[in-house]
Amino acid sequence: MRTFCPAGSRGRRNDWETQSRPPETCTAAKEKFMRFQRPGTNRGVGAFACRVALLLGLASMAAVSAEGPHEQVDRYARYLRDIKGIAGIKTLLRMGEGPNYIDLVIVSAGFHADRMQEFYRLCETLVKGLFAQPPWDRYKSLFNVHAVFVADESPDVSRVKVQGFKGNILHCDNGLAIEYSRYAADSGITVVIHNSSFSTSSNGYWGVIVHHKGAAVEPMASMHELGHGFAGLGDEYIQRNTPFDGPPSALFDSVNVTAEEHPRLSKWHYWLEETWPGALGPQKRPSGANVENAEGAGWIKRAYRPEKSCVMRGNSAAYCVVCNETLEANFFRYIDLFKAVEPAKEDLVLWQGEQIEFRLTAIDLLCQPPEWLKSRLDLYLDGAQIATSDRGEVSHVLHNVAPGVHQLGANLNVQADTIRRDFSFLSRNKGWRVTVVPHAKPRIAVTPLVAVAADGTVDVPVIVEHATPALFTLKMANAPAGAILENGRFKWKPNGANGSWRVNFSALNEQQLGVTEPMEIQVAGGQGDNTIEVPSQEPVDLVTGKPFKFQLKASTKDGGHLLYEPVQVLPGVEVNHETGELSWTAPRSVGGPQPMRFRAKNGTAAREFDIVFRVRREVTPSPIFGPYQQMSQDSLEKLKQSPSVYRRIFEPIRLLRDRFQPVYGKALTVAQTVYKDLDPRFRANFLQELNLHAWAFTSKSEVLKWMRELTNTDSSEAAVSLKRKLDEVDRYNADRWKQAQAEAALKKKARTEAMVGVVSSWQVSKIYRAGNKSANDLLAHVFPPEQGPAPDAEWKNVTSDEDGVVNIAGFFEKTKVPGPYTRCAVYLRSTAEVPNATDALLEIGSDDGVKIWINGNETFVHAVCRPLAIAQDQAKVHLKKGANTLLVKITQDHSDWASYLRIRAADGTALTGLQVGAGENAFAPRSAP
Ligand SMILES: [Zn+2]
């Protein structure tokens, strides 16, 4: 996660790091860095049906028999092996191909060529461990997993440029990691396993995570890092010596951290409810979830997490509800939820007597839904619902409808109990415009193939067959020079020209709707040599997702006119018959070398030739923070041109649920415009869809306000129903504000009471060290402040936070005292004044060890390494009348370093007349503890 564990951040550690600390420290006692138990030693090959894919999936190309492509493909494979170092690609898990699946690719780094089997075993362990964990286990059916073995010299030198493996952090060149993973598949997420036994941390990044091989076999580590890389989850801990030092407001971009103190107002307020009114029915909270605003975990004060335990915090084997929700929503983000949509075209023409079948099928997961998942797929025609399904499949045959323009729309909504905010990922929609023509489709009667001698004549009929031919105008395109079309006849004299032509005849009505029919002309017996020559062609490079054009080149010795045809090409490849210009936008599901076959024709001669297209998958991670937002906004902009009213209705309402203001703000603007211009027939659909998702907008006041406005000027049933729903939402919002205010008042009162008797003003000495003495040894070591005025101590004023805790590490960081703050000690001094001599009770908190002197007498000592808790120790003391000096020594092992002291009456109640603080006057200049 960018914000919280940037690559190369200063000395960041995380919880799987187990061997890099000095072994003799009392670190293990520090609960704040709880670590996971290593799982059992089951490293055997998993139960996965492993299948060694031929390098780059060449098996699927076996159908191409010509030697050319094979040689070229072999050459490409050699190139990958020799230049890129890819020694093998193995598929570990295959659930299906294409956009309904997510490809996870594991890339090796720093493994020598003879370690390939070891790497594959690591991958198998990782995959087996990960997909046994919730919620990954629920979504296994969506995944393909591949392993790319890249042979490197040694752990120190890796092709994907993993760095810092001897330091504290691993990261790599993300662009290179993605490039390598995409030699195997169109990776949704790339995992790099680095061949280091150093137990340094792993690093997560959108789209790429880096594991060292020790972490790869720990499922919790994979869950944590993939939480970053797959769903953009932030860490829920941070180390004190590398604090998150931005303002709390900078926590806005992570779903699982907030600066809002009150859970009812925080971004996960909706998880406080046992039951939530989901779009498709009530959603019950998973048992065991204990949602609050939890402070701590090493975060700065006033940064809160949704639950005390979470795998992103490092103290649990499971994600908290909020992290889990975001992760699960992201499983739906990366795939097309529709498996089949017919027809594919958005803009259709229906002639009299014709019919069109509309059919949509969702992914298998929705067609055979497990009990934790439900969906609703609705199909609409001109404002009316014509089909609905909770099994992800609808169809409708459109026929006998009135001439004119009709709108069909399909809308899919998905719901799981574990997802209350879906960020728009759990809906998809499709839409069509169907123009129904009031007459039958014409037909053009034309001879498909005309052979003529070079000195002959073409004179053939071209007839529009229709009850009313006058409705249509006949035109031709791509005709040879000198050809004419008149009175229903095509006439041409080659006059010695030779070759093949493909003439397109079109019959179009007033609305430019009609049909096109081709006629091929072959001129045979011309002079000269009609042998077709095709220059040898090197593999052609292109990138997925970008429009690509390529000129097919062929010629005849006699200069005859050529025609080009695709013979064996991938879907979407178009070839201009006349010019031989190929155009294609390779989908992201295609990658690697793709041989294709074409034909060039000249009169009676024809020649087939093959070209290998090397499709490089576009090397861009899919960060939700950058391109994602821009792409969503661009798609909303493009939507305005869509011929489908239903797309214009459903898509902005979907994106209103997006996480990010730039996206849902734009969606709101578009939705407002759409509604304003909407044909009244569709208003109910629009309002019903808003109604369905009204509970998703509890934190989006501008959306609620706009919906309220819509209902204010409309008395339709749909508007009244939406109004009722909005009343409920408003009541909920008003209630949680009220509750938050009451809680805040209570908290404030408790905090004020708790601060009575707390020594909050101190003077702090400089940092003392004694060689490499441990924290416990330092507690016994006598430094100058224990002996007298200690002029070397460089006393500086310091105050506690609102809870009474003095953050010593934070103070030294803020005052730019160089660290690291390890194996050292510090002194704090202050005073306590009482009107009469009295027994009293000290409530002590420390991180780590603590020793206390009152009026120069040693009063309390506790040699310990621990995180601070309020009043974790108590001590009975005696205070003399007037000012008493307090001297506190706090030792430090590593990470947090803090102190707390409260003075109470002997019975634990508030001590009457106590005045604390004002440290400097009591000590200077006569001071001697
Ligand atoms: Zn969490």
Q: Are residues 901 and 771 in the same domain?
A: yes
Q: Are residues 503 and 556 in the same domain?
A: no
Ligand 1 centroid, distance to 323 Cα (angstroms): 4
Closest CA to 190 of 178, 198, 200, 175: 178
Q: Are residues 812 and 770 in the same domain?
A: yes
Ligand 1 centroid, distance to 314 Cα (angstroms): 9
The number of residues in the chain equals 929
749, part of any domain? no
Ligand 1 centroid, distance to 320 Cα (angstroms): 4
Query: In angstroms, rounded to a whole number, what is the distance separating the alpha carbons of residues 323 and 329?
Result: 10
Query: In angstroms, rounded to a whole number, what is the distance separating the alpha carbons of residues 507 and 470?
Result: 10
Ligand 1 centroid, distance to 6 Cα (angstroms): 18
Ligand 1 centroid, distance to 227 Cα (angstroms): 9
Q: Packing angle between helix 701-712 and helix 661-676, nearest 10 degrees?
A: 10
Ligand 1 centroid, distance to 231 Cα (angstroms): 12
568, part of any domain? yes
Which residue's entry shows tokens 């010596």?
Answer: 241
138, part of any domain? yes
Single-letter code of the amino acid located at 447: T
Ligand 1 centroid, distance to 295 Cα (angstroms): 13
Q: Kind and range of the H or E element at 146?
A: strand 143-150
Ligand 1 centroid, distance to 286 Cα (angstroms): 15
Single-letter code of the amino acid located at 690: L
Closest CA to 194 of 235, 154, 167: 154
Closest CA to 897 of 803, 796, 811, 834: 811
Cα→Cα distances 440→64, 340, 343, 346, 514, Å: 42, 29, 20, 21, 10
Residue 906 tokens read as: 């002997």
Of 418, 436, 454, the residue at which a domain comes to its end is 436
Q: Are residues 462 and 505 in the same domain?
A: yes
Residue 398 tokens read as: 């459109």
Ligand 1 centroid, distance to 253 Cα (angstroms): 14
Ranges in the chain, pLDDT < 50: 1-67, 240-243, 924-929
Residue 595: give its domain's CATH number.
Answer: 2.60.40.10
Number of domains, the chain: 7
Is 86:150 a contact under the CB 8 Å cutoff? yes
Ligand 1 centroid, distance to 285 Cα (angstroms): 15
Residues 6+ apart with CB under 8 A from 364: 141, 339
Q: Are residues 584 and 640 in the same domain?
A: no
Is 658:681 a contact under the CB 8 Å cutoff? no
Q: Packing angle between helix 661-676 and helix 683-692, nearest 10 degrees?
A: 150
CB atoms within 10 A of CB 468: 11
Closest CA to 149 of 187, 180, 127: 180
261-314 confidence digits (pLDDT tens): 899 999 999 999 999 999 999 999 998 889 999 987 767 677 889 999 999 988
CB atoms within 10 A of CB 98: 14
Ligand 1 centroid, distance to 235 Cα (angstroms): 8
Ligand 1 centroid, distance to 868 Cα (angstroms): 23
Closest CA to 351 of 406, 407, 399, 409: 399
Closest CA to 182 of 158, 150, 230: 150
Single-letter code of the amino acid located at 193: I
Ligand 1 centroid, distance to 443 Cα (angstroms): 64
Ligand 1 centroid, distance to 310 Cα (angstroms): 5
Ligand 1 centroid, distance to 255 Cα (angstroms): 9
570, part of any domain? yes
Single-letter code of the amino acid located at 347: D
What's the pLDDT score for residue 251?
67
Ligand 1 centroid, distance to 271 Cα (angstroms): 13
Ligand 1 centroid, distance to 304 Cα (angstroms): 11
Single-letter code of the amino acid located at 923: F
Ligand 1 centroid, distance to 36 Cα (angstroms): 16
Ligand 1 centroid, distance to 269 Cα (angstroms): 14
Q: Are residues 902 and 835 in the same domain?
A: yes
CB atoms within 10 A of CB 750: 10
Ligand 1 centroid, distance to 821 Cα (angstroms): 29
Q: Are residues 175 and 32 in the same domain?
A: yes
Q: Is 802 exposed, middle or buried (0-12, 13-18, 19+ CB in 10 A)?
A: middle
What's the pLDDT score for residue 920?
52
The alpha-carbon radius of gyration of the chain (Å, integer) is 36
Residue 909 tokens read as: 């109640």
Closest CA to 443 of 462, 476, 466: 466
741, part of any domain? no
Ligand 1 centroid, distance to 129 Cα (angstroms): 20
Torsion of CA 708, 712, 713, 719, to 10 degrees: 70
226, part of any domain? yes
Ligand 1 centroid, distance to 272 Cα (angstroms): 15
DSSP 626: T
What's the pLDDT score for residue 624?
61
Query: In angstroms, rounded to a whole number, what is the distance separating the alpha carbons of residues 47 and 140?
Result: 14
Q: Packing angle between helix 627-639 and helix 661-676, nearest 10 degrees?
A: 10
Q: Is 158 exposed, middle or buried (0-12, 13-18, 19+ CB in 10 A)?
A: buried
Ligand 1 centroid, distance to 290 Cα (angstroms): 12
Q: Are residues 158 and 56 in the same domain?
A: yes
Ligand 1 centroid, distance to 325 Cα (angstroms): 9
Of 263, 296, 330, the residue at which a domain comes to its end is 330
What's the pLDDT score for residue 738?
96
Q: Packing angle between helix 219-231 and helix 116-130, nearest 10 degrees?
A: 80
Q: Are residues 227 and 239 in the same domain?
A: no
Ligand 1 centroid, distance to 309 Cα (angstroms): 7
What's the pLDDT score for residue 81?
87
Query: Sign of torsion, CA 218 223 228 234?
Result: negative
Residue 88 tokens read as: 């093998």
Single-letter code of the amino acid located at 321: V
Closest CA to 269 of 749, 803, 743: 743
Cα→Cα distances 819→25, 240, 783, 816, 824, Å: 18, 12, 20, 9, 10
20, part of any domain? yes
Ligand 1 centroid, distance to 19 Cα (angstroms): 25
Q: Are residues 484 and 540 in the same domain?
A: no
Ligand 1 centroid, distance to 136 Cα (angstroms): 15
Q: Packing angle between helix 701-712 and helix 683-692, nearest 10 degrees?
A: 140
Which residue's entry shows tokens 């006949």?
Answer: 474
Ligand 1 centroid, distance to 17 Cα (angstroms): 19
DSSP states of 461-488: E-EEESSSGGG-EEEEESPPTT-EEETT
Q: Are residues 730 and 760 in the same domain?
A: no
Q: What are phi and psi of 210, to 5 degrees?
A: -120, 125
Query: In angstroms, rounded to a whole number, what is the distance separating the alpha carbons of residues 297 and 670?
Result: 42
Ligand 1 centroid, distance to 307 Cα (angstroms): 7
Ligand 1 centroid, distance to 306 Cα (angstroms): 6
Ligand 1 centroid, distance to 275 Cα (angstroms): 20
Residue 204: give its domain's CATH number.
Answer: 3.40.390
Is 606:530 a contact under the CB 8 Å cutoff? no
Ligand 1 centroid, distance to 165 Cα (angstroms): 27
Residue 257 is part of which domain span? 235-330
Which 3-state string (H, E, C) describes 104-141? EEEEEECECHHHHHHHHHHHHHHHHHHCCCCCHHHHHH
321, part of any domain? yes
Ligand 1 centroid, distance to 706 Cα (angstroms): 33
CB atoms within 10 A of CB 137: 10
Of 616, 640, 667, the residue at which a domain comes to its end is 616
Is 52:87 a contact under the CB 8 Å cutoff? no
Alpha helices per DSSP H over 677-829: 683-692, 701-712, 717-754, 775-780, 808-814
Ligand 1 centroid, distance to 628 Cα (angstroms): 23
Ligand 1 centroid, distance to 233 Cα (angstroms): 8
Ligand 1 centroid, distance to 305 Cα (angstroms): 7
Residue 587 tokens read as: 């989908």
Closest CA to 434 of 387, 474, 380: 380
746-758 confidence digits (pLDDT tens): 989 998 999 999 9
Closest CA to 438 of 405, 465, 407: 405
Q: Are residues 401 and 473 in the same domain?
A: no
Ligand 1 centroid, distance to 625 Cα (angstroms): 19
